[in-house]
Amino acid sequence: MRLKKKEHEFVYWQRVARFATMRPDGTPHNIPICPILEDGKLYFASEDNRKVKNLRAEPRCSVVFDEYTELWEELTQVMIEGRATRFLTKGAEFRKLRKAFYEKYMQYPTAGGGINEDDTVIVEVTIDRAVS
């Protein structure tokens, strides 16, 4: 599924999103992420932590991008429902995506040691549905 042009533009420029997975016991796990949008897929980098473990067990997820304003008629949001389809840990595609993260987020190269092939997973989310 492809995002509509306005949805794509909004999601592309957002700096943070709320990302929800499901724990093995069925309870939700929601955490902020700093994603990128490349070639119609959503990506985020992470340690192999709770959200990644949840996605390995249950790949379905949702992501909410929003901009709040006191002028409620100008509230903007896009909710994406999708599936974690790949977990990249090394290789040329990993390095290409790392470069895209570093271009969007200047903090990434130094924050927590950066995005490295030995300790980072880049998760690819295939978009199944978007609501805005």
**pLDDT tens per residue, range 8-60:** 999 999 999 999 999 999 999 999 999 999 999 999 999 999 999 999 999 99
Question: Closest Cα to residue 76, out of 126, 118, 132, 26?
Answer: 132
Fold for 5-88+122-131, please state it: Pnp Oxidase; Chain A (2.30.110)
Global confidence as pTM: 0.94
| Stretch 61-74: mean pLDDT | 94
How is residue 93 annotated by DSSP? H
- The predicted structure's pLDDT at residue 41: 97
Domain spans of the chain? 5-88+122-131
What residues does 65 pair with on adjacent strands?
A: 78
